[in-house]
Structure 1
Amino acid sequence: MSQADVVIIDATNQILGRMCSKVVNLLKEGKKVYIVNAEKAVISGPKARVVEGYKLLFTVGTLFNPYKQGIRRPRSPINIVKRTIRGMLPKTPKGLRMLKNVKVYIGVPKELEGKQTLRFEDADVKRLKGKYITVEELAKEMGWNAYVKPAK
């Protein structure tokens, strides 16, 4: 792929749903998309409502054991963002190929440092008037254990 076909998006203070819909449009154009700082994207709404909504969305019980979960919840910020994008893509083999053109990172990896990033103005957090929660806070509430390697 040429350099023009690669788009790097900085998710810092971007509304998750609006940003992901823009990413889907880029994927439909045939671009390869890298999303950095995924943990800093925001979801609108009060914290308790957002967390309960995500837990309800991914909790499925069975008839014999109603407490056993049937669907694994995405817990890391990477999986939360990718799952949001996956829900907006077509449910066809073409949609699956498009999903493979998305790479999501926590922070900025060394190979992408210093490169120009794209931000969507209509997905900025300034549009929100009410409360919001970051994807990192949501991930911690869902059980994500952020392990950080100690510096040597």
Structure 2
Amino acid sequence: MDTLSYKTISANKATATKEWIVVDATDQVLGRLGSKVAKLLRGKYKPNFTPHVDCGDNVIIINADKVKMTGNKWNDRVYLSHTGYPGGQREMTPARLQAKPNGNDRLLRKVVKGMLPKNKLGAEILTNMYVYAGSEHKHEAQNPKNIDINLLK
């Protein structure tokens, strides 16, 4: 059959177009914000998405201290961890995690990390996220774009 050949174009590290994006977390629900940020980090909104390549954007989250949770999840939700020793299971609620030093960053990273692949690529993608509690960030030199997270699907 002599037709046009259609080739699947696969992105690689050299051809991936990474942008800088600012997301305002003011009055955003934590889980919905986390899922959209995970898709931005992964590159799922781009037409040249490739599953095995880091082709996503660098995401700056500002006002992370103003994120909300519906219902009584601030105190009822429990994150479990284990120290590795017998009887070493620890519980942490989102309210206690956010109250700790650097807690807003740790809370958002925990949420987004759970929505990324559980492999080396997921760990590498998570380093492209920058979380700030206030409205100021130190990445003005990269000329980041402000986007409305509510317009994404």
Compute the displacement of 1:111 (Å).
3.2
Look up the SS of the partner of 1:43 in the other structure: coil
Could you tell me which residue of structure 1 aligns to residue 119 of structure 2?
A: 92
1:36-115 mapped onto 2 (5 Å cutoff): 36-46=62-72, 49-54=73-78, 57-58=79-80, 66=87, 69-70=89-90, 74=97, 75=100, 76-111=103-138
Could you tell me which residue of structure 2 aligns to residue 132 of structure 1?
A: none
Could you tell me which residue of structure 2 aligns to residue 117 of structure 1?
A: 146
User: How large is the RMSD of aligned CA atoms in angstroms?
Assistant: 3.3
Q: 8 Å contact 2:63–2:134 — kept in the other structure?
A: yes
The 2-side partners of 1:62 and 1:4 are apart by 38
After superposition, the C-alpha distances for 1:110-140 in whole angstroms (9 at most, x for unaligned) are 53579653222269xxxxxxxxxxxxxxxxx
Compute the displacement of 1:89 (Å).
0.6
The 2-side partners of 1:92 and 1:63 are apart by 25
Structure with larger RCO (C-alpha < 8 A, sep 6+): 1
**CA 62–83 in structure 1, closer or farther in 2 if over 3 Å, else same:** closer
Unaligned runs of 5+ in 1: 124-152
Q: 8 Å contact 1:33–1:101 — kept in the other structure?
A: yes
User: Please, what TM-score do these two structures have when normalized by structure 2?
Assistant: 0.61
Identity of aligned residues (%): 28
Aligned residues: 116
Question: Comparing both structures, which one devotes a greater share of its residues to helix?
Answer: 1
Structure number with bigger Rg:
2
Could you tell me which residue of structure 1 aligns to residue 42 of structure 2?
A: 28
Compute the displacement of 1:24 (Å).
0.9
Could you tell me which residue of structure 2 aligns to residue 16 of structure 1?
A: 30
**CA 40–27 in structure 1, closer or farther in 2 if over 3 Å, else same:** same
The 2-side partners of 1:110 and 1:60 are apart by 33
Look up the SS of the partner of 2:69 in the other structure: strand
Q: 8 Å contact 2:20–2:144 — kept in the other structure?
A: no
